[in-house]
Every structure is written in structure tokens, then in C-alpha cells.
Structure 1
Amino acid sequence: MMKWACHRPLALVLGMAGLAFGAPGAEATESGASLYLLGSGGPGTAVMPPLEGLYFDKMVWVYDGSAEANRRIPVNGNITLGLDTTIVADFTTLLAVPSTNFLGGTLAVGVTMPLGAPIIDAEGLLTGPAGGTTLTGSLHDSALTTGDPVVLTQLGWQADKLHIQLSTMTNVPIGHYRESGLANLSLHRWAVDGSLALSWHDPESGWDISAKAGYTANGDNRDSGYDSGDEIHIEGAIEKALSPKFSLGIQGYYQKQVSDDRGMLGPFRGEVVAVGATAATTVMMAGVPATFRGRIMEEIDTTNRLEGTSFWLDFTVPIHMNMPAG
């Protein structure tokens, strides 16, 4: 269990706080927010917990990004001009593993709850029909708010050092949505993501090579009338355990919108490339292994999105495990 904790923090998920707002002339999905949190498919992403039980993960995620003043971005039924965005978000995940022999693999189900404080500054706001007839000057909006709960399912198999995982995430639009505000964590739309992950994980040498790819299907926001396009995401990571308690690695991701948005500014599609570094350490707490993982991801090429930097800190610990006899 200790090796799983070191290389596979739950860090599972969720980009619903990914308010990486859009870009030149428009935006990738409404407010640039995605269900899948880009960068979460890091080292050991396909490695499942080895024992039945209940696992807890706490992730703090900070994003800081901006867009130039000539970039028009749809947010909550309005069009914003020039955004500067800072988001501090907390994701709490409970993951239950009811079986390690389901269809020959390990089954896990769980839920993630987000809480955060988005801070939004816009240089201008266009309101009215067909892109706006009224121009408002600079605006500032911030809030401490909850996002939508996300339901998780995972099914994973192991063949020697190779780990394979299928996973789904479903965004349930019942979180706090501020219709008149710019700062939101809630997507306020149904969305489903399906992903396939592979990890070549060698505890003896300390190397982990992981990759993950997925497809996100987005629904429409009935309050704003915006129907976001679908997206694909691809991630990769390489990590080396330098000691039984410490590991260091690099990772990156690519995201592209593959179908058109419908609403406000037209069929604009987003795209982003990012690279970064990650490190993890495992310590014993109350007789069980607890893992802390940090990450920094820098977006180096974006289209129709904000460009910025994200910082992560994960804490993962098993709450209960069904230990084998003896």
C-alpha cells in the first residue's frame, strides 16, 4: 500500500474549477472551464489501490492566468474583454474500493466535492443581443463558492509492471451557480468524461512511465443558453523514485476542443499545451502511509483560452483497508 500511496495519489480529477478562461476573439467551452482537470493524469495514474477499503484525498489547486484586452470571452451570458483570473480551489475526494476482483480487476467508486475562491478582473463587459449593445467598464468579481459534485468510477487491471485503467467522471450540475456573477466554480451543465490510462510502474527500479487520454462530452447551460463543445485530453509523465520516501518527475498535457460551441460568439475551439514538474513524498501517519505530492504546470501554447500557471498540493491517506488475514 505504501508504494501505491507514493506513486498514485487520488489527484484524480476535476477540472470543474478549471476556469482557464478563453482567448483571441473567443473561448473554448463556456468560461473555458472543463470537467477534467488538466494535469491530474500524472505519475502512476493507472495504478489502483491494492486493497479493498476507503481512501481520502485532499487537493489544493491554484491557477493564475490572463488574456489580452482584445480577447472576447463568453462568461455567464456576457462577453468579457481582457481577463485576469486567479483561482484557489479545494477538491475533497472519497474513493471506495468494494472489490479487487471485479471482471478480473479492481473496482473503485467515489465522489469529489469542490470548494474555492475564484477572483476575476475584466477590462470590459459587453451585454445585450448578438454580442452586446452595452459596454461596461472594468469589473471585479470574487466569491467563496462550491462547485458541482463529480461522481467517479474506475476499473483497473495489472499485468506484471503494466497497469491499465478505465475511468469515468460525471458532473452533476447542482452546485452553487451565480447567474449574475463572473466568478463561479460550478459548470452548471451535465458533462461526462471517459479516459484510458496506462502506467508502466517498476517498484524495483523506481521508474514510472504513465499516459492518459480521454474524451469529455459537454451539455448545455440552460441559464446562459451556452452549449459547450466536446474536448479531448492527452497527458504523459515520467517519474523516478530517488528513495523509498521521495520521487521526482516531469509531466505534460495537451487539450483540444473537437466540436463547436453553440452560443454567443460562434463555433470557437480551444487548444492548450503545458509542461511541468512533480515531486512526492510518503510519511507514516497513525500507522498508515500518507502521501504529499506537489506539481507546477506552465501553459506554453494556447488558442482560445487563458494562458497561465497552476500549482498543486495533494494529500492522500487510506481511511480504512481490508487487510488480508495474517
Structure 2
Amino acid sequence: MKRYLSEPKSHCRLIRATIGLAVALAGVSSDPAYADEDGVSYWLPGRFSSLAAVPAVPGWSMAEVYYHTSVSAFGNAAAAREIRVGRIPANVNVDLNLRLNAQADLVLLNPTYTFATPVLGGQLAIGITGLFGRSAATLDGTLTTAVGPFVTTRTGTLSDSITSVGDLYPQATLKWNAGVHNFMTYLTGDIPVGAYSPTRLANLGIGHGAIDGGGGYTYFNEKAGHEFSAVAGFTYNFKNPDTQYRNGVDFHIDWGASQFLSKQLFVGLVGYYYQQVTDDFGQPPILGGFRSRVVGVGPQIGYLFPVGDLQGYLNLKGYGEFAAENRPAGWNTWLTFSLSPMAPTSTVAPTRRIVTK
């Protein structure tokens, strides 16, 4: 720890900038992972974590993420899939003993450009995230439906998988620094160009557009190596033209806390809370408002290292989920590798700081 405290300020800024790039990925989602319409939301919880609001070093940077998730659901969250793919009429009485299991393995690519010229006294960055990978889902169990005096019981399994590309997710951030305090605002959204079909059990796109915006804060004491970040936002969803279904408004908050053990290594915790705050529109009557909720928490570890004239960064974080409602839940892991410009060796800060009185 003594060695870390003696490092020049330029290295501390480099830590802030590199990790800030890696956690400021444009928002992503994958069909088996999370939910509004049949358990699928635009926002992927865990997108932001430690040092999210810290300004970066100006220039081009690139982050690559391998994301794995394994989730399951019962009751309404499982029935919503069967209704959407047309296996259950939306107007029948349903007695469910269904289980949904889903997995995804995705690769996310996020090029970002950070401007050197201040905007509104802060630092502007724009980027876009694309993804490709595999999504798989299985429904099994017993389904009993009743229409008037007629009762039908069916037991069996439905399975589906797809390997393709997902939607595109542009993002803009504006960040300010005032000593140990850092602030940010962001705007992002979904361009629905990924692989999607309303009759498939598994998809890599969500089938509709979305806009998401919010703000965040990071406390980072460079001398002590203490850090805490939290980013909150709201998602507005547009109507899915294939199903005439529109998800309600979603609220989410991602957080991370870390302690630097040396100039290169840190450990900590990450977490998120996701809550749908308004009802869906166009949902079958048996699902009600179908508001989704989930909470996740887990460990993280990060490591910084030089790559030629660039700065490399590796981070591994994982979440276990609980308190889920109307959405699949389980666990997910993120392995991030990023490359960003080296911080200048002088002690002059690379970004404009807020003048406080």
C-alpha cells in the first residue's frame, strides 16, 4: 500500500481513465437474460460499476467483454414465453407448472472516442456497442388450459437456440471532476437491428427501440485507494411492432466499491437493483401488469498493465441474483479487456476540473 501512495498523480489519473472506459459500455441486452415482455428488458443490469463517473484520457479506446449468463424462471415469467411464441392462447385460463431455463454467451465490442475540448465544463465521450454470440432457452413442465368446459393438459419440452448478432447501442456521456468527487450524465438507447423473431423462444435482439438516460457519482480517494460508484437511470420503451406490446418504464441502479491493493491491482464488490415502475401495455390479461424486479450482488477484481504505448485493463466481475419478480434470475459473469491511451506523464490534469467555491 505504501508503494501505491507514493505513485505520481498521472498514474492515478491513468487508473481512473482506464477503468472508466471499461465500465462505461453502451447498454446491451440478450433475450434469455432479463425481462419485461416475456421477461426481456433493454437494460442489462451490471453495465456500470466501479469508477463509472471518472473522466477518461482523450482519444480513441476499445473495450471487449465476454458475458455469460444462466437464468431460470417459473410461473408467469415462463408462461409469457409460451404466449409470445403462440403456444398458449392469450385469453384462456391457465394453470402453470412450467420452468424456463436460458443461457447466453456473448461478445460485446465498444469503441469510444473521448473529446479533449470541454463541453459545458465537462468531458464528452461518444461510443457504440455491438454484440454477437449464442442464446438458448428451454421450456418444460405441465400446462393445463381451460376454455369453458373444455380442459386440456400438456406435458413436454420446447427448446430453441440462435447464434447471430444483436442490436446496436449508441451512448454519449458527459463527466466532471472536482477532487475526489466525480459526476456524470449519460444518454443511450437501442437500435433494433439484431436477430429477432416473435415466434422464436430465444433471440439476440429485443424487437423494439428504447431510450435510457440518467446520472452517476464516483467517490475516488487516490491516496487511500478507496472508491465507490453508483449510476441510476430510467428506460422508456417503444412499442414492439411485431407483437404490439410495449414495456413499461424501468428504473435501475448499478453500483461498485473497490479498494486498490497496489498501483495495478484492486478488489471489491458490485451490485444492481432493477425495478419496472409502470405496467406493460398490450400484455395478456393473465399476466396482469407484469412488472419486473431483480437484485444482484457479487465480487470483482481488476488489473492494469501497459500494452506498448497503450494502457491495458482486465476486470472480472460476477453477480448472483435474488428477489426476482416476473423475470428470469440466476447468475452472470463479465470478463472485460480494454485498451485506452496512456495518461500524460506530467502532473497537469488531462481534463478540465470543476471550480468549487
TM-score normalized by the length of structure 1: 0.88
Task: Identify the residue that residue 254 of structure 2 maps to in structure 1.
Answer: 235
Give the direction of change, closer, same or farther, for the CA distance of 1:148–1:321 in structure 2 (3 Å limit): farther
Counting matched residue pairs gives 317
**Higher fraction of helix:** 2
Distance 2:204 2:42 in 1: 11
In the alignment, is residue 19 of structure 1 matched against residue 32 of structure 2? yes
* Maintained 8 Å contact 1:13/1:37: no
Residues 165-204 of structure 1: pairs in structure 2 closer than 5 A? 165-204=184-223
Task: Identify the residue that residue 141 of structure 1 maps to in structure 2.
Answer: 160
* Maintained 8 Å contact 2:33/2:104: no
Q: Secondary structure of 1:235's partner?
A: strand
Task: Identify the residue that residue 292 of structure 1 maps to in structure 2.
Answer: 314
* Maintained 8 Å contact 1:6/1:280: no
**Cα displacement (A) at 1:18:** 6.0
Structure 1: give runs of 5+ residues left out of the alignment: 22-27
Task: Identify the residue that residue 353 of structure 2 maps to in structure 1.
Answer: none
Distance 1:286 1:210 in 2: 30
Task: Identify the residue that residue 54 of structure 2 maps to in structure 1.
Answer: 47
**Higher fraction of strand:** 1
Give the direction of change, closer, same or farther, for the CA distance of 1:285–1:82 in structure 2 (3 Å limit): same
Cα root mean square deviation, aligned: 2.9
Task: Identify the residue that residue 302 of structure 2 maps to in structure 1.
Answer: 280
Task: Identify the residue that residue 111 of structure 1 maps to in structure 2.
Answer: 128
* Maintained 8 Å contact 2:130/2:167: yes
In the alignment, is residue 226 of structure 1 matched against residue 226 of structure 2? no
2:39 to 17, 32, 37: 32
**Cα displacement (A) at 1:94:** 0.8
Distance 2:31 2:220 in 1: 29
Aligned partner letter, 1:30: E
Identical aligned residues as a percent:
28
* Maintained 8 Å contact 2:39/2:77: no
Task: Identify the residue that residue 24 of structure 1 maps to in structure 2.
Answer: none
Distance 2:85 2:237 in 1: 17
Q: Secondary structure of 1:101's partner?
A: coil
Which 4+ stretches in 1 moved above 6 angstroms? 319-324
Distance 2:176 2:76 in 1: 49
**Cα displacement (A) at 1:61:** 0.8
In the alignment, is residue 260 of structure 1 matched against residue 248 of structure 2? no
Of residues 262-271 and 63-72 in structure 1, the stretch that sits farther from structure 2 once superposed is: 63-72
* Maintained 8 Å contact 2:18/2:56: no
Structure 2: give runs of 5+ residues left out of the alignment: 1-12, 89-97, 349-357
In the alignment, is residue 99 of structure 1 matched against residue 116 of structure 2? yes
TM-score normalized by the length of structure 2: 0.81
In the alignment, is residue 2 of structure 1 matched against residue 24 of structure 2? no
In the alignment, is residue 301 of structure 1 matched against residue 307 of structure 2? no
- Rg (Cα) greater in structure: 2
* Maintained 8 Å contact 2:86/2:199: no
